[in-house]
Amino acid sequence: MSTAPAGTRVVHTVCSHDCPDSCGVLVTVDSLTGRATKVQGDPSHPVTRGFLCGKVARYLDRVYSPERLLYPMRRKVGVAKGPLPKGREAESFERISWDEALELVAAKLKTIAAEHGSESILPYSYAGTIGQLGYGSMDRRFFYRLGASQLDRTICSTAGGDALVSVNGIKLGTSPQDFTHAGLILAWGANIHGNNIHLWPFIEEARRNGARLVVIDPYRTRTAALADEHLAIRPGTDVMLVLAMMHVIFREGLEDREYLAECTTGAEELRAHALRAEYSPARAAEITGLDADKIEQLARSYATAGRGGRAPAAIRLNYGIQRGEYGGTAARAVTMLPLITGSWKQHGGGLQLSTSGSFPFNSKRLQMPELMQSSPLGRASRVVNMSQLGHALTELGEKQITGQGIGIEAACVEGPPVKALFVYNCNAAAVAPDSSRVLAGLRRDDLFTVVHEQFFTDTTDYADIVLPATTFLEHKDVQGAYGHLFVQISQPAIAPLGEARSNVLLFSELGRRMGFEEAAFSDSEEELIAQALETEHPWFAGVTKERLEREGHVPLALPQNEHGEVLPFSTREWFRTPSGRGELTPVPRWHAPHESRSGVAASEGKYPLEFLPRKADNYMNSTFANLPGHQQMERRTAGVLEMHPVDATARGIVSGDAVNVWNGRGQIALTARVGVAIAAGVVAARLDWHKLSEDGANVNALTSERLTDIGGGATFYSTLVEVAKVAEIAADWS
């Protein structure tokens, strides 16, 4: 660790935003004032390597923003729920003490539970922080003991995560450092430069040694622009591309038969399946929009990369691929590729989707699901899928139907209506799909909504009670990562601003207010960290609280080969599937997503364009979107709809035209940018807050509550729309 200049101290923290990189962050604090004066990437962290992304390099703008929420507040009597002018939200609330706030919330939750049953209370959280404590510890204990509905946290990664587990049995993969040893790197649905910047230097190093980078993405991301080759695949068609690659590999005998026999099951079935004529490169070309030649080449270069002493092929698969209706199958199919070529055996080979399963944190101990047995229900409560929040708030308990209005099946159809919503770690109003439904639900007068936040957001505009939350500079936590293999401790660098409280403190105090007598509600952050590390798992050998406090980051003790290399899935021991091998069945089959150019919805003809409602390179989902410095970095994409000249010309649109984008669920106003960032037939815009958008609606006004084939995930990237120039629509109406 670096030494601190006189009059300051340097504190080790961890960036807790929902990012694969989980950077080690050193915070310089003025000893006299206790104020943080500088944040920098930890130079001793082997993946952070001393730098931070552009978002967090200016983190003090966020921590000390004049707009930080500093006190508990209650909605003023008579102020209706709904969008409030940015910067003037406080006028609609009145400040109350923490004591009053906790009393009010506890009393209200008790009344609602008594009248409607405890399952009418719904926690709603995602990954505002991915620290073990902040993401899920005391909060889970609280809602389990209360008998509240359980939340299925599907909005991001369950399709791909469950897919990975169905093939390999565990979320684990090639470490970022090992990408330097690759000879061919496929970035598959992975915007590395935007979303996973700390992998980039390793890729650059590999390229200096002669590696090629191929990006498979419908959008020309910064990553694609910097690659050796960009394959602009049509959204939702990756299964077809993979099957065609398998077709070529098996046809030419490029598979690793020895490895397949030793480490997998179902290889013969997969081989026969992939060799069918319907998966020929020519047929795949029609579906994916890629040249058949390119598909052949990709298959050959992928399968032969590691042969004859050359460096192997590594795949950086990311979650972009699984935000479509058949995204689970797509992730399964890609995961099978290194099993077919045996590239796991080589240093620098394999695949990374997520490494989160490598961290054996004791989450059962942290979250204590057994507390559900002590709830008034005395049983496990119902589960509500977070990707169908609109349905949960507007239909549950009312009609007992399976999502008729939305034309999709709803995951939860039973139990009482939701009467209380407790939001934390999440800007639900902005990030959940089909926002018209979500907002209609949030607007309900009979819904009691509590929001624990760092800022006024789209979601606090609908809150009855707003509670101030700490940032990662202000609380203690322990964290793994989903893009590397180091455990880290995050020390509080500064005192909480104003009256902000951590998630742990909030829920332990609220637990006591509710009269929960279990000792579990008195555990301190220190005790929780010790509990998170309570395990005999060999991969946590040597990972102790004391060592973390001393060293900041500690590598997982993963098994190494005789050269000291960690080669996941190089041998059978690594697989955690029921068969103890890589599972290649059921074989992946291609289906057109309902909302795609060859899907059922397109055949109706009303909404012909595929829509990508993307993430911003300089925000973190909806986080940072309210800060002027970050807005400045994203100004080029603000309110912009990107479209291909073919689609623009067909609609008489040129760059700079005001356009409307709509479908059966909603509409948004954007400004067209015509260019080749996106292929014909697809249009793209990025996520923002509703209230910061020109017409008060963001891209999720257009997305649906349809779920993925595996894992019940959200399908943001399977959305059809139509686009028209604003003037023409006005003419239509007149």
Ligand X SMILES: Nc1nc2c(c(=O)[nH]1)N[C@H]1C(S)=C(S)[C@@H](COP(=O)(O)OP(=O)(O)OC[C@H]3O[C@@H](n4cnc5c(=O)[nH]c(N)nc54)[C@H](O)[C@@H]3O)O[C@H]1N2
**x-or-dash pattern for ligand SF4, window 47-86, by CB under 6 A?**
-----xx-xx------------------------------
CB of 691 to ligand SF4, least distance (A): 23
Residue for token pair 């049995």: 169
Q: What is the largest CA-CA distance in the chain?
A: 77
Give the shortest CB-423-to-ligand SF4 separation in angstroms.
22
Closest CA to 153 of 189, 190, 127: 127
Q: Does the footprint of ligand X cover residue 388 (CB under 6 A)?
A: no
In contact, 520 and 371? CB cutoff 8 Å: yes
CA distance 648 to 655: 9
Residue whose CB is less far from ligand SF4, 265 or 618: 618
Residue 172 or 197 having the CB closest to ligand SF4: 197
Q: Which does 52 bind (CB under 5 to 8 A by kind): Mo ion, ligand SF4, ligand X, none?
A: ligand SF4
- Residue 401 CA: distances (Å) to CA of 282, 416, 446: 44, 13, 21
**Strand 448-453 to 212-216 pairing:** unpaired
Query: Packing angle between helix 503-513 and helix 98-116, nearest 10 degrees?
Result: 60
In this complex, which beta carbon is closest to ligand SF4, that of residue 62 or of residue 382?
A: 62
Cα 580 to chain centroid, rounded: 29
Is 354 a binding residue for ligand SF4 by CB under 6 A? The answer is no
Q: Is 128 in the site for ligand X (CB under 6 A)?
A: yes
Q: Which two tokens stand for residue 185?
A: 């790197």
Which of the ranges 174-182, 212-220, 388-396, 636-644 carries the binding residues for ligand X, by CB under 6 A?
Answer: 212-220
Q: Which residue is nearest to ligand X (CB)?
A: 320
Find the binder of ligand SF4 among 12, 13, 22, 155 (CB under 6 A): 22
> Which SS3 state, helix, strand or coil, does residue 445 take?
coil
Interaction mask 601-640, ligand SF4, x per CB under 6 A: -------------------x--------------------
Here's the x/- map for ligand X, 621-640, by CB under 6 A: it reads as xxx-----------------
Nearest distance in Å: CB 18, Mo ion: 5
Residues in the chain: 734
Residue with the two structure tokens 């369950």: 158
Residue 457 binds ligand X, judged by CB under 6 A: yes
| 221 sits near ligand X (criterion: CB under 6 A) | yes
Q: Which segments of 502-620 does DSSP mark as H helices, in order? A: 503-513, 525-532, 545-551, 600-603
Q: How many CB atoms lie within 10 A of CB 262?
A: 12
Name the amino acid, one letter, at 569. F
Residue 635 CB-density burial (10 A; 0-12 exposed, 13-18 middle, 19+ buried) = exposed
* Least separation in angstroms between CB 227 and ligand SF4: 20
Nearer to Mo ion, 156 or 287 (CB): 156
* Phi, psi of 129, rounded to the nearest 5 degrees: -130, 140
Nearest to 241 by CA among 262, 216, 210: 216
Q: Could you say whether residue 23 binds ligand SF4 (CB under 6 A)?
A: yes
Interaction of residue 477 with ligand X, rule CB under 6 A: no
The two three-digit tokens of residue 414, written as one number: 């039973």
HEC secondary structure over 214-231: EEECCECCHHHHCCCEEE
**Which residue of 11, 13, 21, 504 would you call a contact of ligand SF4, by CB under 6 A?**
21
- Can residue 503 be called a binding residue for ligand X (CB under 6 A)? yes
- The count of chain residues that interact with ligand X, using the rule CB under 6 A, is 60
Tell me how far, at minimum, the Cβ of 230 lies from Mo ion, in Å.
23
Residues 723 and 643: beta-carbon distance below 8 Å: yes
Judged by CB under 6 A, does residue 203 bind ligand SF4? no
Binding site for ligand X (CB under 6 A): 18-19, 126-129, 134, 155-157, 188-191, 194-195, 216-219, 221, 233, 235-236, 238, 318-321, 323-324, 424-427, 431, 452-455, 457, 469, 503, 612-617, 619-623, 687, 699-700, 703, 716-717
Binding site for ligand SF4 (CB under 6 A): 15, 17, 19, 21-23, 52-53, 55-56, 197-198, 620
